[in-house]
Amino acid sequence: MTPVGLEHYLVVSALLFALGLFGVITRRNLLIIYMSLELMLNAANLALVAFSRFNGNLDGQIMVFFIITVAAAEVAVGLALIVALYRKRQTAHVEDLTSLKL
Amino acid sequence: MNLFLLSHELCALLLGLLILLVDLWLPPSEKRKLGYAAAAGIGVLLIYSLVQFSVGTIGTQYAFGGMYVLDPLALFFKRFFLVATLIVMLMSVEFADRIEAGIAEYYALILFAMTGMMFAASANDFSTFFVSLELITVTFYVLTSFLRARLPSLEAGIKYLIIGALSSAFMIFGIALVFGTSGTLSFDKLAATLPQFAQNKIFLFGLLLVLVGLGFKISMVPFQIWAPDVYQGAPSPTTAFLAVGSKAAGFVLLLRVLFSAVPEVTKHWVALLMVLAGATILYGNLCAIPQRNVKRLLGYSSISHAGYLLLGISALSAAGQSAVLYYLSGYLFTVLAAFTVICLVMRQVESADVAELAGLHQRSPLLAGTMTLAMVSLAGIPPLAGFFGKFLLLKSVVEAGARNSGYYCLAFVALAGVVISLYYYFGIVRSIYWSKDAADLSAIPVSPSIKLALFGCIAGMLFIGIYPNPLVNWAGEAVKVLR
């Protein structure tokens, strides 16, 4: 059995990123879209940690800490916005976000 | 480490925290006035910056192990953001009666966004790059949807949130790939070792993803879809800040990445940059023509101005880079003047339709005159700032034409864009002066602080346009740090 190498991590990371992007494009519920976005961020985190481990350079792992912190702040603001929208419109679907037009 | 280097950011952050703290003890009726305190604080900081730091002697100094750099370029943009925030703050005080609760938080968030912008001006590493950009973006999610009882504001906030988060995800993945192939996050180390992996496909793909993330920030085609909706729905001071501050932060980061971190790769991407610049100019100008909502129209116009600014970047010369700085400065005064007028005139109305500007010259000659000057400057008519900025950008592109004849096509597209833009900018001027069906002719009260802001903007537009030399020299000095 071959040991798990950098390329395995990168393939998983790319798959996660693609799955997240697919979710953002196809899903219609804001919460699911937001979940998919987090998946994309974590795909990047996985790639950074793997690169960091295999290159023997800790900068990438420090970067991951920054990303996790920023992502937490982003989720807090994002969920608050989605809740505010739900209170106002009783919906969290992107089709209902159509008041801004020409 | 020398904390003196970070004094701009630290002071801005402390000012923001102070505003939040003082808010706890103030009675609700007094909270609005906190904005004046914040504006005064920014003014003091600006004077401090002019007295303590001088472009000639500052040199290039590093903090946080090279992650943060203070050089003339950073200093130029820090002062730029201070001036922009000062005017936005005065505008927000005027806007305060339309915000139901939490006006002090609104002021504080503006200051935090400014801190992020000033950090962005000094970013010299992908981690400071990312964190400062996110500090700007996350505060703008809140600022955009601050009128949360109003659906348009909320909707604009959610659209900005989803697209902003998507662009961050692209950017982080790009940073991960760049880090993986080059083994460093620092711009300086990247530039030093660049020849080893300048042909590496994964590295280039990562860099392209970073460019996508920045493209969202500066509303570059094809990542511009959010701009009109967010500009229309957001509170007017937020829109103004987004148009000036967020865009300028995107451009300073773009300049740093393209010319300080990966100059060799940028040379190979000339064609891409030229196509993006041309497409952005044409898209912004063509889509602005049918718009009836002034804020939405300015949203499309801001896309086209991102295109003009990209001209200077695609020219790949010091002249082009300094023209970008000059153009941004002119754009600052022009756009802030326009949004201050919109903020005052569209007070009661939800929609901000062009027709509501009708009869403005009778209601308030000062506001009408300012709006007209702003539109004339945006269109690029001499002697205002917008004209000389466009002239410098086009000049840098035409000069580069000796290297690559594609630049002549780009210059032609830019000129066509200017001609198209005359139509819709003068549509606004026409509805101010020559519109017959003015429903409301009551005078608009203009407070002294707003008068000060408006006169400042007018003086800025005229001074930069008529005496361009000091600013051109300063911008030329600032871009010397780029390669």
pLDDT tens, residue by residue, B158-211: 999 999 999 999 999 999 999 999 999 999 999 999 888 888 999 999 999 999
Can you tell me the mean pLDDT for B348-377?
A: 86
Which residues fall within 8 angstroms of residue B157, CB to CB, at 6 or more apart?
A81, B141, B142, B144, B145, B148, B233, B234
Which of B134, B138, B156 shows the shortest C-beta gap to A100? B156
The CA distance from B345 to B368, in Å, is 10
3-state helix, strand, coil in chain A (%, to 5): 80, 0, 20
The CA distance from B252 to B249, in Å, is 5
Residue B348 pLDDT > 70: no
Using alpha carbons only, how large is chain A's radius of gyration in Å? Answer: 17
CB within 8 Å: B172 and A81: no
Each residue's pLDDT tens digit, B97-137: 888 888 999 999 999 999 999 999 999 999 999 999 999 99
| B159 contact residues in A (CB cutoff 8 A) | 97, 100
| A62 contact residues in B (CB cutoff 8 A) | 127
Distance from CA of A1 to the nearest CA of B (A): 26
The CA distance from B207 to B264, in Å, is 12
Query: Per the structure block, which two tokens stand in for A43?
Result: 């795909």
Per-residue pLDDT, A1: 67
Which of B148, B157, B183 shows the shortest C-beta gap to A55? B183
Per-residue pLDDT, B132: 96
The DSSP secondary-structure symbol of B183 reads S
Distance from CA of A4 to the nearest CA of B (A): 17
Q: Parse chain B into domains and list their residue ranges.
A: 269-483
**Which residues in chain B (209-228) have CB-CB distances under 8 A to chain A?**
228
> Crossing angle, helix B201-217 and helix B247-255, to 10 degrees?
160
Going by C-alpha positions, the residue among B185, B170, B202, B130 that lies closest to residue A43 is: B170
Q: Assess contact for B287 and B222: CB atoms under 8 A.
A: no
Can you tell me the mean pLDDT for A8-20?
A: 95
Distance from CA of A102 to the nearest CA of B (A): 6
| B288 contact residues in A (CB cutoff 8 A) | none
Going by C-alpha positions, the residue among B340, B331, B317 that lies closest to residue B250 is: B331
How many residue contacts between A and B have a Cβ separation below 8 Å?
127
**Which residues in chain B (171-200) have CB-CB distances under 8 A to chain A?**
172-173, 175-177, 179-180, 183-185
Q: pTM for the whole thing? A: 0.96
Which residues fall within 8 angstroms of residue B69, CB to CB, at 6 or more apart?
B60, B61, B62, B63, B122, B123, B124
Class of domain A6-90: mainly alpha
Each residue's pLDDT tens digit, A80-93: 999 999 998 888 88
Query: Per the structure block, which two tokens stand in for B329?
Result: 């400065």
The DSSP secondary-structure symbol of B443 reads P
Going by C-alpha positions, the residue among B125, B127, B128, B104 that lies closest to residue B117 is: B128
Query: Per the structure block, which two tokens stand in for A46?
Result: 């996985």
Residue B426, class by beta-carbon neighbours within 10 Å (0-12 exposed, 13-18 middle, 19+ buried)?
middle
Each residue's pLDDT tens digit, B31-83: 899 999 999 999 999 999 999 888 777 888 999 888 999 999 999 999 999 99
The total number of residues written for chain A in this structure: 102
Between B404 and B286, residue with greater pLDDT:
B286
CA angle in degrees (0–180, nearest 5) for A55-A60-A65: 150
The secondary structure element, H or E, covering residue B69 is strand B68-70
CB within 8 Å: B152 and A81: no
CB within 8 Å: A88 and B185: no
> Crossing angle, helix B294-314 and helix B385-400, to 10 degrees?
40
Distance from CA of B460 to the nearest CA of A (A): 32
How far CA B96 is from CA of B102, B103, B213, B456, in Å, comes to: 9, 6, 32, 21
Can you tell me the mean pLDDT for B251-271?
A: 93
Residue B271, class by beta-carbon neighbours within 10 Å (0-12 exposed, 13-18 middle, 19+ buried)?
exposed
Closest alpha carbon within chain A to B155: A97
CB within 8 Å: A57 and B183: yes
The CA distance from B89 to B70, in Å, is 26
Q: Which of B67, B161, B185 to mutate to test binding with chain A, by most A CBs within 10 Å of its CB?
A: B161
Per-residue pLDDT, B57: 76
Going by C-alpha positions, the residue among B312, B330, B334, B311 that lies closest to residue B322 is: B312
The CA distance from B80 to B314, in Å, is 23
Residue A3, class by beta-carbon neighbours within 10 Å (0-12 exposed, 13-18 middle, 19+ buried)?
exposed
**Which residues in chain A (17-76) have CB-CB distances under 8 A to chain B?**
17, 20, 24, 30, 33-34, 37, 40-41, 43-45, 47-48, 50-52, 55, 57, 59-60, 62-63, 66-67, 70, 73-74
Per-residue pLDDT, B405: 87
Per-residue pLDDT, B483: 77
Going by C-alpha positions, the residue among B155, B299, B348 that lies closest to residue A86 is: B155
Residue B57, class by beta-carbon neighbours within 10 Å (0-12 exposed, 13-18 middle, 19+ buried)?
exposed
| A43 contact residues in B (CB cutoff 8 A) | 173
pLDDT band for B317, please (50, 70, 90 cuts).
very high
SS3 assignment, position A10: helix
Each residue's pLDDT tens digit, B380-412: 988 899 999 999 999 999 999 888 889 999 999
CB within 8 Å: B155 and A77: no
Which of A41, A50, A84 shows the shortest C-beta gap to B148? A84
Each residue's pLDDT tens digit, B152-169: 899 999 999 999 999 999
The CA distance from B372 to B436, in Å, is 18
Q: For B25, phi and psi rounded to 5 degrees?
A: -100, -5
Distance from CA of B107 to the nearest CA of A (A): 17
SS3 assignment, position B218: coil
What percentage of chain B exceeds 70 in pLDDT? 99
Q: For B385, phi and psi rounded to 5 degrees?
A: -60, -40
CA angle in degrees (0–180, nearest 5) for B420-A98-B109: 85
Give bridge partners of residue B293 from the DSSP assignment. B353
Across chain A, mean pLDDT equals 91
Distance from CA of A3 to the nearest CA of B (A): 20
Per-residue pLDDT, B349: 57
**Considering Cα of B379, then B380, then B384, then B385, what sign does the dihedral take?**
positive
Residue A102 pLDDT > 70: no
CB within 8 Å: A44 and B169: yes
CB within 8 Å: B173 and A77: no
The total number of residues written for chain B in this structure: 483
Query: Per the structure block, which two tokens stand in for B38?
Result: 């914040």
Q: Assess contact for B334 and B378: CB atoms under 8 A.
A: yes
Q: B206-227: b or e for each residue (b if 16 or more CB lie within 10 Å)?
A: bbbbbbbbbbbbbbbbebbebb
Closest alpha carbon within chain A to B206: A44
How far CA A87 is from CA of B146, B154, B450, in Å, comes to: 15, 11, 36
Give bridge partners of residue B63 from the DSSP assignment. B68
Q: Assess contact for B349 and B293: CB atoms under 8 A.
A: no
Query: Per the structure block, which two tokens stand in for A20?
Result: 């997240």
Answer whether B126 touches A (CB < 8 Å): yes
Q: Assess contact for A90 and A83: CB atoms under 8 A.
A: no
Q: Parse chain A into domains and list their residue ranges.
A: 6-90
Query: Per the structure block, which two tokens stand in for A64?
Result: 């991951």
Query: Per the structure block, which two tokens stand in for B177?
Result: 């790939």
Residue B270 pLDDT > 70: yes
Per-residue pLDDT, B104: 93
